[in-house]
Chain A
Amino acid sequence: DAGVIQSPRHEVTEMGQEVTLRCKPISGHNSLFWYRQTMMRGLELLIYFNNNVPIDDSGMPEDRFSAKMPNASFSTLKIQPSEPRDSAVYFCASSFEGRNSPLHFGNGTRLTVT
């Protein structure tokens, strides 16, 4: 079991640029979650999918953020245009069945926007 795989591990970009974060969930898991972690706000749920369908995106901070899950084995989180306040660690997590099942997290993407 390779676990949840995220790429890149680190991303440094300039303000205004587009950023795309990628996630490969654990095979067989049917729920996928995107979280953002900062010192000030802790771990915030941005959006989650069940069977590739977005269920709740109320945590997405602005229209600059978008997430897709074109198939069961891949998801992206895109920020366009990026801003310095988007700097954070972004985590992807997956679970089986989604309901009352623990999440398995990737090791995150550390994003720095200058």
Chain B
Amino acid sequence: GESVGLHLPTLSVQEGDNSIINCAYSNSASDYFIWYKQESGKGPQFIIDIRSNMDKRQGQRVTVLLNKTVKHLSLQIAATQPGDSAVYFCAENRNAGASKIIFGSGTRLSIRP
């Protein structure tokens, strides 16, 4: 069936380095993608989004890249900090007529001091 999945379930990064979290999606009709961060005991928190008519979008310390050819999404975090430790989810909007946001399985990012 269709799914949104992640290549790596866990990622360990040295503090100060850049982090790259990857996501593969299978629904070519999806036209809106979002990255969320979830800390322990909290709900997912919006980080950045991108529409399918773009291939790159930048925020504060974060960049999302979208490659529609291979159905791949990535989140880049610059100068990773201890506060970036969390589980990161990619999500996609699969319903062209409304909002059906489906989440991937998540990647845990841990920061080494």
User: Which A residues contact B (CB, under 8 angstroms)?
Assistant: 4, 31, 33, 35, 42-43, 45, 48, 50, 55-56, 91, 93, 95, 98-108
Contacts and interface: CB of A to CB of B under 8 A. Distances in A.
A8 B90 CA distance: 27
A55 B104 CA distance: 22
Contact of A55 (B36, B49, B98): B98
Contacts of A93: 43-44
A100 B100 contact: no
B110 to A, nearest CB: 17
Given A43-B89, A102-B49, A91 B44 contact: yes
26 contacts: A4-B43, A33-B99, A35-B103, A42-B105, A43-B44, A48-B99, A50-B99, A56-B95, A56-B98, A56-B100, A93-B43, A99-B93, A100-B32, A100-B51, A101-B99, A102-B46, A102-B49, A103-B44, A103-B101, A104-B46, A105-B43, A105-B44, A105-B45, A106-B43, A107-B41, A107-B43
B24 interface: no
Nearest to B44: A105
Interface of A is mostly: strand
Given A43-B44, A100-B32, A105-B43, A33 B103 contact: no
Interface in B28-51: 31-32, 34, 36, 41-46, 49, 51
Q: Which of B43, B44, B103 has its CB near the most chain A CB atoms (within 10 A)?
A: B43
Interface string B63-105: 0000000000000000000000000010001010011111111
Given A50-B98, A91-B44, 7 more contacts: A45-B101, A55-B98, A93-B44, A100-B49, A101-B99, A105-B36, A108-B43
